[in-house]
Amino acid sequence: MRPLLLVTLIIIALVVLKIYVWDADDQKTAPARPTSAARSGGALPVDIYVAEESVTDNTVYSSGTIVPNEEVELKCEVSGRLVDLNIHEGSYVKKGQLIAKLNDQDLLAQLKKIDFEEQLAAQIEARQKKLLDIDAISKEEYDLAMNRVNTLGADKELLQVQLEKTEVRAPFNGYIGFKNISEGAYVTPSISIASLVQTNPVKIDFAVPEKYTSLVSVGQEVRFEIDGMDDQFSAKVVAIDPRVDEDLRTLRIRALTNNGLGMLKPGMFVRVSVPLGSNESIMIPTEAIVPVLKGKVVYLYKDGKASEVAVKTGLRTDRAIQILDGINLGDSVIVSALMSMKPSMPVTIQEVVNLQVAP
């Protein structure tokens, strides 16, 4: 049995050795697969876009929020028990309409008392005046009577002011929000009875990058859209924040629009477009821009090589970006294989694309 086992092992070893030799020969004789650069004679195939001037519709896009034209939390000026709450949630109220009334019985009693005292003081002053006219009393005695009349009059005015503070009236036309308290509750100046909002017109608050500060002005028209609505709305800029946000580097803007139909609700998210006019400028595909540490660069095709050029950009759209400096008309801008691109790298033109079909 041992000689037979030895012969079998020798045969297996020879077969394995033969297979290894064949694989080595195949690897030596098989031609290497050429890379894309090798197929192009060592140059990297790229797509280019020939820079040309086009009419640019300069529009800045932003997001914003609908804000009430006026909004206030209705509160009492003094503390007391709420005896009348004359509102319904969601109802419309007019300026000056009574919203809430606090208990004023103690103030009314004080006012009644002062009325009696004032009448008596007036009678005493009249008698003192007659006595003064015939020199029956001194001028000082008459002045005391007159001072009493004036003091009571001032006290009465103070009570009337305190009585007015027991009432809460609508400061402007608008809609009442949800009530926070009910009749019978004890309220203080810190407690909000309900909110009051004026929703026609409404304000649109949004912001634009600081570089567009000089291009936006009061009275300018802007457009905005709302998710779920097919209509496009317009508004006019009514105010521009005098300061730029130091953290976001944006400028806050407020526009005003009519809301007669009540479709626009405060708090809604809106997409705002701010038209800044149109002009002729160089636009290139956005994918041609390569961010670097000191700004932005593009690669141009020059004499079979990639040339790195720093650029200054302007407005951006979904597919194109405006070039303010760095590129001239007719320059061949490389728009593909940018991840592998290096300055002075050999490249070859694979396809010339236009702005609409640029990848």
Q: Is the pLDDT of residue 151 over 70?
A: yes
**Any idea where the domains of the chain sit in the sequence?**
44-56+280-353, 61-69+196-277, 104-165
Report the C-alpha gap between 177 and 196 in whole angstroms.
6
Across 283-307, average pLDDT:
93
Specify the pairing of strand 250-257 against strand 186-187.
unpaired
**341 CB-side CA count, 13 A:** 27
Q: Which residue has the higher pLDDT, 4 or 263?
A: 263
Banded pLDDT at 22 (limits 50, 70, 90): very low
Residue 2 and residue 79: Cα distance in Å, rounded? Answer: 113
Opening angle at CA 170, ends 197 and 173, nearest 5: 50
CA distance 245 to 328: 35
Report residue 345's pLDDT band, with 50, 70 and 90 as the boundaries: very high
Examine the pLDDT at 41 and tell me if it is beyond 90: no
3-state SS assignment for residue 167 = strand
Give the Cα separation of 195 and 73 in Å (integer).
4
Query: pLDDT band for position 191 (50/70/90)?
Result: very high
Q: Please give the average per-residue pLDDT across 40-44, as a whole number.
A: 72
The CATH fold of domain 104-165 = Helix Hairpins (1.10.287)
pLDDT, average across residues 88-96: 94
Looking at residue 315, its pLDDT comes to 77
Q: Is the pLDDT of residue 356 over 90?
A: no
Between 294 and 26, the higher pLDDT residue = 294
* Least confident stretch, 5-19, 56-70, 79-93: 5-19
Mean pLDDT of all residues in 337-343: 92
Q: Are 238 and 254 in contact (CB under 8 A)?
A: yes
CA angle 292, 297, 298 (to 5 degrees): 135
The whole-angstrom separation of Cα 102 and Cα 210 is: 50
Q: Is it the case that residue 28 has pLDDT exceeding 50?
A: no
pLDDT at 40 over 80: no
CA geometry: angle at 199 spanning 171 and 101, to 5°? 30
**DSSP-assigned beta bridge partners for residue 80:** 187
Q: At what angle do helices 139-164 and 105-133 cross, to 10 degrees?
A: 160
Residue (of 158, 150, 157) closest to 125 by Cα position: 150
Range scoring the smallest mean pLDDT among 8-17, 201-210, 259-268, 314-323: 8-17
| Per-residue model confidence (pLDDT) at position 11 | 65
Q: Which fold has domain 44-56+280-353?
A: 2.40.420
Summarised one tens digit per residue, pLDDT across range 101-132 is 999 999 999 999 999 999 999 999 899 889 98
150 CB-contact burial (10 Å; exposed 0-12 / middle 13-18 / buried 19+): exposed
Find the mean pLDDT for residues 128-149.
90
Which among 266, 308, 269, 262 is positioned nearest to 289, based on CA atoms? 308
CA 7 to chain centre: 87
- Predicted confidence at residue 4, as pLDDT, reads 56
Count CB neighbours of 199 within 10 A. Answer: 19
- Contact predicate 20/14, CB 8 Å: no
Average pLDDT of the chain to the nearest whole number: 87
241 pLDDT band, cuts 50/70/90, is very high
Integer CA distances (angstroms), 307 to 293, 326, 341, in order = 18, 12, 10
| Terminal Cα-to-Cα distance of the chain (whole angstroms) | 73
Tens digit of each residue's pLDDT (9 = 90 or more) over 46-59: 999 999 988 777 78
What would be the CATH architecture of the domain defined by 61-69+196-277? Beta Barrel (2.40)
pLDDT at 162 over 50: yes
